[in-house]
Structure 1
Amino acid sequence: MRSPRPYAPQPGPGARSLTERRKAATQLDIARAACELFAEHGPDGTTAEDIAHRAGVALRTFYRYFRNKQEAVAPLLAGGGDAWRALLAEERPGTPLAEALERAVTRSLTDLLAVGEGLAVTRGLLRAAAHDPALRAVWYRVNQESEEQLVPLLARLAGPQADALSVRLLAAAATDAIRIALEVWSTTDAPTTGPTSPAALALQCLHDLTSGMPLLR
């Protein structure tokens, strides 16, 4: 690993440094450990020490990144929003917004990674959050942050003629469509595919929440 590497172009301004990537990887390891332990023992039966031990880090490292055990799951919960916004960012300006949103939502909730890890983890965490206000607060915060990050993406797709209020409303509706779909799905044993899947429920919520919005006409 320490052998010289050929010259590579310098990363652009949006690229993360090696230190930032290592930090993100450590946070994700801790988040996975927290999710595993919450699934096995519940939040009440899990301590920060347990999570640090499972993740293979010192307790001081855990507290360097997270204030409490519930906060530790945020990186995994945020991953779903990151994925669907990245898919939406691939859409070209001028693409009908309804089509762009539906495509990104469907792709993000039927992607193999989402089905394999993200959806199963989210279902378990949302079930645990029903009895843990601190865990619910993390879920709501992650969704709020995702909504805020969605606004500039939608503004770019909608074009300069779109007014700020309409863009904000659409960002809120799209975020809530996915949030509500996942919350409802997590209370059932429905599969990850088919008419009762998260993708199907999210599309239904999206249609119901955004029908009549001027930006989608």
Structure 2
Amino acid sequence: MNRAKVVFLGAPGTGKGTQAKKLSAKFGLPHVSTGDILRDAVKKGTEQGLKAKAVMDRGDLVPDEVILGIVENRLVKPDCAKGFLLDGFPRTLVQAEAFDKWDSVNCAIQIDVPDDVLVKRLVLRRTCPLCAAMYHLEYQPPRSQGVCDKCGTALVQREDDREDVVKSRFQVYMEKTEPLIGYYRQKDVLHNVNGNRDVETVFSEIVQIVEAVGEMNDEG
């Protein structure tokens, strides 16, 4: 496959990270998650991480210049030479336009899920603070209540998964991120996927889209 440069779009909880990880495993493309990078910075207590934590805990977006710096530093690494999967970036038109001056995306995958389903997905989500394993109290509960199956650590609810913060995140998404759908549609790289189905069905459709993009690039 030639250089597939993919961005995942969709409101919080649509499954962007899950699909990006599966796609990364299938095609060997690096999964660049700005959320994971920022959370790692928070965990390490870096200056960048501490600044980002206060913003993320409110459900707001981290400033454009911080995110752009993080993404550019990651994409210059050798493993991104054959392509990449962007998850959590760009979040605003400013970020998208700035990134296009440096590189470009040739496949934007918009995952659509109804709002009420998303709230349920996020508010009932639990995370292991030690190994980062993810659980869901209804769809994927741990074997022992409140304890990670993998390492036995007590599970926690992320600050940005609290119901009040989730609703704030949706509002921010509608205002700042949804305009990206039109931006990538105009560039003729947008693909809409129904995310209100089981993970494997959604993944199968996304694989077909990315394979078609790779073949198109090879022909060009």
TM-score, structure 1 as length reference: 0.29
Greater strand fraction, Structure 1 or Structure 2: 2
Greater helix fraction, Structure 1 or Structure 2: 1
TM-score, structure 2 as length reference: 0.29
When Rg is computed on C-alpha atoms for both structures, the one with the higher figure is 1
